[in-house]
Amino acid sequence: MAAPTAAPPATRAVAGAHRRSRPLGHERRRAAYLMLAPGMLHLAWWIGVPTVATFVLAFTRYDILAGTMAWAGLDNFVAIFRDPVWWTAVWNTVVYTFFTVPVAMAIAVVIAVLLNTNLRARAWYRTAVFMPHITATVAIALVWMWMFEPNIGLFNWVLSWFGVRGPAWTSDPAWAMTSVILMSVWKGIGLKMVIYLAALQGIPHDLYEAAEIDGAGPVRRFFAVTLPLLGPATFFVLVVSLIESFQVFEQFYVLTPEGGPAGSTTVMTYEIYKSAFQRFDMSVASAQSVVLFVFLLVLTIVGRRFTGRDDVA
């Protein structure tokens, strides 16, 4: 047993002596509440209260400049769903999420597995893959704008080798979303890789060896050993990626400002930002946030089905 055996505090030893043989729910429950309390209270105050406030505001007409508030029932929700721009934003968000999340996750898990081997210079490779995540979006977007430049940018230049006339990328309504998706996948791989790397450390050697002895090749080992054991990590990455993706803002704000060419790349968070800080309409922004919230809740529940039961410790 490699578990360290430091002497438990005196009081606990006395109490523990009585309970050691059958760990009572009491003590564990009390420990649970004590350990949960600081974090959860913090969340409840700083996030819970604003969330409840948002839900309440969604049913009011709150004029933040004039300082007035009136009950509005479902008016805000009716208004936003009557707005075709909102529907476009919802659709764009879904499309964006649909293409960005699975692709980035798949690439990230493969890279993580590759970089988990005993490779020389793997710390450098890992750093390189993580770079997009830690560099501020504004600066990165500048570079991508150059790459997307229709006449002399990298992408169209490469396309011209094949005799293809590249599109106007971020200025073309048909390609603007693709442009942002490309940049987002590129940017999103790093963090996912890190999480998968961390999770991979928890998979014992022996499982791989046993599988090898059984005759499984590297690919088979990946699907039979690695992936299933990455279940909790995959659930995490999926949920977090979905949430992050639905709340994407910066990339769109910088790469395709003000909703993109002819409003083709507006997303939900951008509409919320517009409502809150361009139109000073907190009520509508809150209602839009509630809709976003519901979307995410539903997606998380669905995502839970996908990655299987992970609640069992």
Partner 1 sequence: MTIRHRPVLRAVAAAAAGLVALAACGGPAPSGGGGDGTVSGEISLLTPIFEGADGAAVLEEQLAAFQAQYPGVTVKPDYTTYGKLNEKLTTSIASGQPYDVMLMGAGWIPPFAEKGVLADLGLEPAELGARYYERAVDAGVHEGKVYALPIMMDTRIGIYRKDLFAQAGITEPPKNFAELREYGKRLTQRAPDGTLQVAGLDVLGIDPRQAFLTMLWAAGGELFGPDGSPAFNSPAGVKALQTMADVIQVDRSEDVGWTTPNSPTGNVMAQGRAAMAVGHHHFWTQIQEEAPELIAEDKLGFFVITDERPAMFQGGTLATVSAQSKHPEAARALAEFLASEGPVLAANEQRGNIPSLKSLESSEFVQQNGAIQFAMQNFEHAHSEGGVPQWLEIRDKFKPAIESALLGQKSPQQALDDLAAEASAALAGR
Partner 2 sequence: MSPEGTSAPVAPPVPSGPGPGRLGGAPRPGRILLHAVLVALSLAMVAPFVWMVLTSLKSHAEVMSYPPTILPSVWQWVNYPDALGFAPFGTYFRNSMVIAVSHTAINVALAAMAGYALARLPFRGRTPALVFVLAAMMIPTFTKIVPQYLLAKTMPFFGGNDFLGRGGSGWLDSWWALIVPGAVTPLAIFLFRQFYLSLPRELEEAARLDGLGEFGIFARVMTPLMKPAIATVALITFENSWNNFVWPLIVTRTDQLRVIQVGLAAFQQTERTLWEYLMAGTVLATVPMIVLFLFTQRYFVQGFATAGIK
| Ordered alpha helix ranges (H), the chain | 10-19, 25-43, 49-57, 75-82, 84-114, 122-134, 137-148, 154-161, 176-200, 205-213, 218-221, 227-229, 231-246, 250-255, 268-277, 282-306
Site for partner 1 (CB under 8 A): how many residues?
45
Taking CB under 8 A as the criterion, the residue among 94, 232, 263, 307 binding partner 1 is 263
Whole-number minimum distance, CB 282 to partner 1, in Å?
Answer: 8
State the nearest-atom distance from the C-beta of 281 to partner 1, in Å.
7
CB of 137 to partner 1, least distance (A): 13
Say whether residue 239 binds partner 1 (CB under 8 A).
Answer: no
**d(C-alpha 253, C-alpha 267), whole Å:** 10
CA distances from 87 to 65, 269, 275, 277, 288 (A): 28, 13, 15, 20, 11
In Å, how far are 70, 80, 95, 145, 189 from 75, measured between CA atoms? 11, 9, 28, 40, 41
Q: Which of residues 15-44 bind partner 1 (CB under 8 A)?
A: 44
**Cβ distance to partner 1 smaller for residue 118 or 278:** 278
Name which position in 281, 289, 290, 291 contacts partner 1 (CB under 8 A): 281
Residues 163-202 that bind partner 1 (CB under 8 A): 168-173
- The number of residues in the chain equals 313
> Contact, 208 vs 223, CB < 8 A?
no
Residues 56-85 interacting with partner 1 (rule: CB under 8 A): 56-57, 60, 62-69, 79, 85
The residues near 303 (Cβ < 8 Å, ≥ 6 apart) are 235, 238, 239, 242
CB of 143 or CB of 298, closer to partner 1: 143
**Closer to partner 2 by Cβ: residue 33 or 174:** 33
- Is 252 a binding residue for partner 1 by CB under 8 A? The answer is no
Strand partners, 68: 63
Token pair 């809709």 is at which residue?
Answer: 291
CB of 58 to partner 1, least distance (A): 11
Extract the tokens encoding 281: 């309409």
The least distance separating partner 1 from the CB of residue 164, rounded to whole angstroms, comes to: 14
Contact partners, residue 63, CB within 8 Å, separation at least 6 = 69, 280
**At closest approach, how far in Å is the CB of 162 from partner 2?**
19
Query: Which residues are CB-contacts of 272 (< 8 A; sequence separation ≥ 6)?
Result: 285, 288, 289, 292
The answer to whether 5 contacts partner 1 (rule: CB under 8 A) is no
Out of 130, 159, 250, 261, the residue judged to bind partner 1 by CB under 8 A: 261
Residue 250 lies near partner 1 (rule: CB under 8 A): no
Shortest Cβ 6–partner 2 spacing (Å) = 6
Residue numbers at the binding site for partner 1 (CB under 8 A): 44-45, 48-50, 52-53, 55-57, 60, 62-69, 79, 85, 142, 145-146, 149-151, 168-173, 258-259, 261-263, 274, 276-281
